[in-house]
């Protein structure tokens, strides 16, 4: 039997090459390398972190130098030792939680009350005309001056302390929110109206997002006011709290205990402020930053 000869056909010129699909060569996989802007942002972030750490170390160094020069200050090592002692005894955590609880209660109540009031003042001129004089009047009165009146009206329980913290937070947030609403670009509002948007849609889709940076700035200011107020509020008829512990330490000239309270307040306030900054970046990613 004769084996038939195998015929070899030449592929036409337009035939796909072996291993190709559909006449198109496989495209290389997209690169997963970070873009130049991302790499630059990471470098900038690392640089800022290093600068912040250097600033922290430098500040502690200046503190230590002042102690060596004879200033009546406890050394950082003495403050750290006293802080560890108070932490092990549990007194530091009790006082810290008492102050933190009061700050959170007054601050959050102030934000919840201030944001809708600020929106109403910014959106409706008659509401602004009625409330703005009162807001500015009470804003000129230090919240600490309200403490004696609050104690007389609300007693010596937690009520007056939380109330003055609420007042400090409310006044800072309401002014910032109101300013954010009135600062919204009128072109955006008019463009939304031309496209047929109703007032409710304009308010939710234009005014609220544009006012969010102002609200968050007001929250940061209100948080600082809340911490400043809680220390003074705890000096009067309080059984616990960082302010109360600092007052007792002052009576016995325990400067290291006073410094422990100051450091704890600073660390807690800084941590809460960083959280607000993180929320600002997440909620206002559309905003250009320097």
pLDDT per residue over 42-78, tens digit each?
Answer: 777 788 888 888 888 888 889 888 888 888 888 889 9
Using one digit for the tens of pLDDT, what is the confidence trace for 224-259?
889 988 888 887 767 888 988 998 888 888 899 999
Tokens of 26: 């496989």
Residue 86's pLDDT band, with cuts at 50, 70 and 90, is very high
17 pLDDT exceeds 70? no
98 pLDDT exceeds 80? yes
What is the model's pLDDT at position 289? 59
What is the model's pLDDT at position 7? 44
Tokens of 29: 């996989």
What is the model's pLDDT at position 51? 87
Q: Please name every residue paired with 21 in a beta bridge, in sequence order, or none if there are none.
A: 24
Q: Across the chain, what does the average pLDDT equal?
A: 82
94 pLDDT exceeds 90? yes
Of 163, 137, 151, the C-alpha closest to 237 is: 151
Residue 212's pLDDT band, with cuts at 50, 70 and 90, is confident
More confident residue, 118 or 186: 118
SS3 21: strand
Other C-beta atoms lying within 10 Å of the C-beta of residue 193: 14
Rounded distance between C-alpha atoms, residue 229 and residue 240, angstroms: 15
What is the model's pLDDT at position 112? 94
Task: Burial-class residue 208 by CB neighbours within 10 Å (0-12, 13-18, 19+).
Answer: middle
Residue 84's pLDDT band, with cuts at 50, 70 and 90, is very high
SS3 201: helix
Mean pLDDT of 91-120: 93
């Amino acid at each position: 039997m004769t084996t038939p000869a195998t015929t070899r056909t030449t592929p036409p010129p337009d035939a796909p090459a072996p291993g190709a699909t559909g006449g198109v060569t496989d495209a290389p996989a997209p690169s997963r390398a970070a873009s130049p802007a991302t790499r630059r942002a990471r470098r900038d972030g690392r640089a800022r972190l290093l600068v912040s750490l250097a600033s922290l170390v430098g500040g502690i160094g200046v503190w230590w130098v002042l102690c060596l020069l004879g200033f009546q200050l406890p050394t950082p090592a003495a403050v750290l030792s006293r802080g560890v002692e108070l932490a092990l005894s549990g007194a530091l955590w009790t006082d810290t939680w008492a102050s933190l609880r009061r700050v959170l209660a007054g601050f959050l109540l102030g934000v919840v009350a201030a944001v809708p009031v600020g929106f109403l003042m910014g959106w409706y001129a008659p509401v602004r005309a009625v409330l703005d004089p009162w807001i500015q009047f009470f804003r000129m009165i230090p919240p600490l001056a309200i403490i004696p009146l609050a104690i007389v009206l609300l007693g010596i329980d937690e009520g007056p302390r939380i109330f003055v913290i609420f007042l400090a937070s409310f006044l800072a947030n309401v002014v910032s929110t109101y300013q954010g609403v009135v600062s919204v670009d009128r072109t955006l509002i008019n463009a939304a109206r031309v496209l047929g948007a109703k007032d409710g849609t304009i308010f939710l889709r234009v005014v609220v997002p544009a006012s969010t940076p102002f609200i968050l700035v007001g929250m940061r200011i209100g948080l600082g006011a809340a911490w400043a107020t809680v220390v003074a509020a705890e000096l009067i008829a309080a059984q616990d709290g960082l302010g109360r512990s600092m007052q007792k330490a002052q009576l016995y000239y325990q400067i290291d205990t006073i410094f422990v309270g100051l450091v704890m307040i600073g660390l807690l306030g800084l941590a809460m402020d960083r959280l607000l900054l993180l929320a600002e970046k997440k909620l206002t990613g559309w905003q250009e930053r320097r």
